[in-house]
Chain A
Amino acid sequence: MTEEEHYVYVVDDDTPVRKALERLLRSAGHHAITFGSAPDFLDFCHPDAPGCLILDIKMPRVSGLELQDRLAEKGISFPVIFITGHGTVPASVKAFKAGAMDFLEKPFEDRELLDAVSRGIEKHRRFRQEQSELKRLRTRLDTLTPREREVFRLVVAGRLNKQVAFELGTGEKTIKVHRGRVMEKMGAQSLADLVRFAEKLGIHSSAG
């Protein structure tokens, strides 16, 4: 389906269901890894690859919802597809609030699950890309001097060079040099790029 290696994790205490889901996912070209309980999954060292989690909401000891909480605590951010034998409104509301991506009621059509899985993988993939771009930008941001960070903040806030120079108490020419260096260090081709990066990094103009 996608070129990139990805994994689908299945946590269900019911062995036949677990086994059937693994086959279905495998037949659709997914890499499925199954777990009989939530703790088993938590103990598993999952590969750094796009993936999604299929979680039975009703399980002994640690339920799907509890596992969702634990994963959030650990910063593991797989999209979660809940499956349940008998959906209850409070459980599903709670699941969605906790960021569940999908909620499927057993028994479900294979398409429903596979579509959800694809959406999940895609989502995770995007999430991973964004995460990696942000990481790159942060690394670049770290290379800026404090003066360049000031200039970066004021430029993305829409200030003209002359205004920036005035605010920082220096000459317009100097600002032009700083600005060029910020563009270069951040890998921005245009001011628009720079503004987008600033947004992603959460840099806002303090001069309001």
Chain B
Amino acid sequence: MGCPLYFLILLALGVHADTCNAKTRPQTPLTGKNVLILHAFESNVPIFELTDRGLRKSLDAGGVGIRNQFFEYLDLARNPVPEHRQRLVELLLLRYASRKIDLVITLYQEALQFALNEARDIFPEVPIVALYVPLGFEPPQMTQRIIRQIVAPDVKGTLEVALKLVPEAKRVYVATGANPMEKSLENSARKDFKDWEGQLEFRYLSDLPLEGIIAAVSSAPPDAIVLFMGFAADVTGKNYTTREVGKMLGEVSGVPVFGLHDVSLGYGIAGGSLISFEYIGTRAGELAVAILKGAENVENIPSVLQVPHVPMFDWRQLKHWNLSESALPKGSIVINKEPTLWDFRYYLLGGLAFVIAQSFLIAGLLVQKRRKRSAEESLRQKTEELDQFFSVSLDLLCIANTEGYFLRLNPSFERVLGYRREELTAKRFLDFVHPDDLVKTQDAVSTLASQRRVISFQNRYRCKDGTYRWLEWTSASTGNLIYAAARDITERLKREAEAAQRSQELAHVSRIATMGELTSALAHEINQPLTAILSNAEAAKRFLAQADPDITEVRQILEDIVRDDRRASDVVRKVRTLVKKEMPGDEVLDLNKTIQEVLGIIKGESLLPGLSITVELSPELRLVRGDRIQLQQVILNLLLNSVAAMRDSPQTQRKITVKTAMADGASASVSVTDAGTGIDENDIERLFEPFYTTKPEGLGMGLSISRRIIKAHGGDMGASNNPDGGATFAFTLPAHPGDPS
């Protein structure tokens, strides 16, 4: 956004700079070229002053500097004696003999003649620009190049302009001096005025002395205008300047005074189509520069310098006489104008450009500011939102540094740990960590310090009341700042522990329930040896009570009693291990052995009449890792499940096959196949849901708990129907990596 703005400003400034440069930058400097301006008369006459001004300006601009401009005022009119002229020659010789003058500009015929005659040897062969030579003056034929400028006032043009401004004018008072030039001018004017014969009444005042002229003008009727054509001397021979006379006329006149020379402008005349002496000076200077540069061959320059008249007016006069500015000719120069905005248009344009640029800049800055503010606002809003989240979060949020101090904490810290914020920030956070968790916490901080994230990190923090809460952390770091979120998982861990315990208890209950289903089979297993023991013992007693007891027989009996007792306690022990409530064990197991242990407790026939259990145990089976009792329970559950499925089958068909095998090389599989009723395909998944049962006396927990046990061991359990009837329940367990067999 800023770029176009600055560009605009540069553009504005650049334009300005360019215009300045164009005005001040000298063209190819004319080093060492000297120009002499030779005035015929005194220096302080307005006409000369204005001419000098124009000359200085254009010479300077053309590369002829002040040090190379030489002004000489011959003052010939006031010193008409020959000695003066002689002395002037000497003076000029003194001044310019050793100096090369490259061009001479003369003002008035007298100066030109002086240069061509008395001063001829001082400035030999130097081109001359001769200003203000009268019409008809022909310079002598010389090798020297002379370019003339002829003074020819625009009387007709001025009258035309005057009549446009004062259309109601009926009379024209023609005021002018009486020297020869002025007389000649009046004569030519009279010819020009023939065009207005009949329309206007002309009154010529040159025959009157100045006082008379003033008197005449002051009493001019309202339908008159005054045409002031210049005034060097009146009829009495008294010298004046055009400016001072024009001023006098302007002061006394009751009607507008129009003039022919810019020297009067601003000094009493309303204006006219004027000879501008300053302009003539300017043009002469430019011509001089052109000649000196040699850009133009002197020979090709016209011998007459034409300087156009300039319509010029005094704004105050126009206002005073209530003359319409709109009647002025195109290109008119109006002086003394109260400055209007138009007059300042370039400044205004520049200023405007600047203002526009500045406006853009300001607008840009405002936009930027607004954006910044809106960004700040949205940032503030976001920060506020974050702050809100920060303070309402149930989780513990903090920013800490890797030196081990909390920098910022949310209220949850105070709530969970019970400390005040200051207490938490005063100490290193490691001071709050449980001694047993210290090492791993330090490790976690090191991990964070190396700009890695830490997730699901758990440790214990000491609360104000001395108890410990378990916190689970997720942290990231930037530089030495740690951003961390923690969750109080104390309750969760407690619940998980309780759930684990409940699950264990449930497994226990389930085992007891399983035992319940096994009761009759187990009772048989235990009662058989007990019956044998009791009967043997009684028999022995009787034998011994006989007259001649057969001791051998009694010894045999005792041996049998011991054996049967062992057999009974064996069953009891096996049952007890199954029912015993124990923490889950973790040992490396041979599933083949585990299966045989289970089958050692229950016998097919004792579960279901006619039932035969076949085992096909793979010698390649690899060891697994797990809890022996739980896995025994699973196998037992599967067997009982199969038994239940065959309760209604004919005795001859009651057959269970327990098979082990290696599945895909990395897991051991155990399958229990029965020849029962099979499973309803729709129920296959539901079979493993808790409390789902098809057995009238079943709890519906066996399979669900079995599957849970297997999953907890990293395995899986499933069921399918056999193609030739019955179902197969199978589970797999990952093989123990340490057992490559």
Our verdict on whether A and B bind, yes or no, reads yes
Q: Which residues of A contact B (CB under 8 A)?
A: 14, 16-17, 19-21, 23-24, 26-28, 58, 60-61, 63, 83, 85-86, 88, 105-110, 113
- Evaluate contact between A16 and B529: CB separation under 8 angstroms: yes
Query: Taking the nearest CB of chain A, how far is it from the CB of B374, in angstroms?
Result: 88
Q: Could you say which of B538, B606, B610 contacts A24, with CB atoms under 8 Å apart?
A: B538
- Report the nearest B residue to A58, measured CB to CB: B524
Give the complex CA separation of A88 and B538 in angstroms. 26
Q: Could you say which of B527, B528, B553, B567 contacts A23, with CB atoms under 8 Å apart?
A: B553
Interface size classification for chain B: 20 to 34
Task: Say yes or no: A20-B533 contact (C-beta < 8 A), given A58-B524, A86-B524.
Answer: yes
Give the complex CA separation of A105 and B530 in angstroms. 11
Taking CB atoms, residues of chain B closer than 8 Å to A14 are 528, 532
* A17, A28, A63, A113 interface centre (most CB from chain B within 10 Å): A17
Within 8 A of A (CB), among B528-553: 528-536, 538-543, 546, 553
Give the complex CA separation of A63 and B610 in angstroms. 10
- Evaluate contact between A110 and B605: CB separation under 8 angstroms: no
- Evaluate contact between A88 and B520: CB separation under 8 angstroms: yes
Further contacts, 16 of them, CB under 8 A, given A16-B567, A85-B524, A85-B526:
A14-B532, A16-B563, A20-B564, A23-B540, A24-B535, A24-B538, A24-B542, A61-B610, A85-B523, A85-B531, A86-B527, A106-B527, A107-B531, A108-B531, A110-B534, A110-B535
- Evaluate contact between B532 and A19: CB separation under 8 angstroms: yes
Give the complex CA separation of A16 and B567 in angstroms. 11
Give the complex CA separation of A110 and B534 in angstroms. 8
- Evaluate contact between B606 and A23: CB separation under 8 angstroms: no
Q: Could you say which of B560, B563, B609 contacts A58, with CB atoms under 8 Å apart?
A: B609
Q: Could you say which of B531, B563, B606, B609 contacts A63, with CB atoms under 8 Å apart?
A: B609
- Report the nearest B residue to A25, measured CB to CB: B539
B614 at the interface (CB under 8 A from A): no
B519 at the interface (CB under 8 A from A): yes
Task: Say yes or no: A19-B527 contact (C-beta < 8 A), given A86-B520, A88-B520, A110-B538.
Answer: no
Task: Say yes or no: A20-B609 contact (C-beta < 8 A), given A27-B538, A106-B527.
Answer: no
Taking CB atoms, residues of chain B closer than 8 Å to A108 are 531, 534
Taking CB atoms, residues of chain A closer than 8 Å to B567 are 16
Taking CB atoms, residues of chain A closer than 8 Å to B257 are none
Query: Taking the nearest CB of chain B, how far is it from the CB of A89, in angstroms?
Result: 12
Task: Say yes or no: A106-B531 contact (C-beta < 8 A), given A16-B564, A20-B560, A60-B609.
Answer: yes
- Report the nearest A residue to B534, measured CB to CB: A107
Q: Which residues of B contact A (CB under 8 A)?
A: 519-520, 523-536, 538-543, 546, 553, 557, 560, 563-564, 567, 605-606, 609-610
- Evaluate contact between B529 and A109: CB separation under 8 angstroms: no
- Evaluate contact between A20 and B539: CB separation under 8 angstroms: yes
- Report the nearest B residue to A60, measured CB to CB: B605
Taking CB atoms, residues of chain A closer than 8 Å to B557 are 20, 23
Taking CB atoms, residues of chain B closer than 8 Å to A60 are 605, 609-610
- Evaluate contact between B560 and A85: CB separation under 8 angstroms: no
Query: Taking the nearest CB of chain B, how far is it from the CB of A85, in angstroms?
Result: 3
18 contacts between A and B (CB under 8 A): A14-B528, A16-B532, A16-B564, A17-B528, A17-B535, A20-B557, A24-B535, A24-B538, A24-B539, A24-B542, A27-B541, A60-B605, A60-B610, A85-B526, A85-B528, A85-B531, A86-B524, A106-B528
Give the complex CA separation of A61 and B658 in angstroms. 22
Give the complex CA separation of A106 and B526 in angstroms. 9
- Report the nearest A residue to B561, measured CB to CB: A20
Taking CB atoms, residues of chain B closer than 8 Å to A28 are 542
- Evaluate contact between A26 and B609: CB separation under 8 angstroms: no
Shortest Cβ-Cβ A-B pairs, 9 listed: A27-B542, A85-B524, A110-B538, A86-B523, A23-B539, A20-B535, A85-B527, A107-B530, A106-B531
* B519, B529, B546, B553 interface centre (most CB from chain A within 10 Å): B529
Taking CB atoms, residues of chain B closer than 8 Å to A20 are 531-536, 539, 557, 560, 564
Query: Taking the nearest CB of chain B, how far is it from the CB of A136, in angstroms?
Result: 39
Taking CB atoms, residues of chain A closer than 8 Å to B532 are 14, 16-17, 19-20
- Evaluate contact between A16 and B528: CB separation under 8 angstroms: yes
Give the complex CA separation of A58 and B610 in angstroms. 11
Give the complex CA separation of A19 and B24 in angstroms. 146
Give the complex CA separation of A5 and B499 in angstroms. 70
Taking CB atoms, residues of chain A closer than 8 Å to B520 are 85-86, 88
Give the complex CA separation of A65 and B503 in angstroms. 43
Give the complex CA separation of A19 and B563 in angstroms. 13
Q: Could you say which of A17, A58, A61 contacts B606, with CB atoms under 8 Å apart?
A: A58
* B532, B567, B609, B610 interface centre (most CB from chain A within 10 Å): B532
Taking CB atoms, residues of chain A closer than 8 Å to B560 are 16, 19-20
Taking CB atoms, residues of chain A closer than 8 Å to B525 are 85
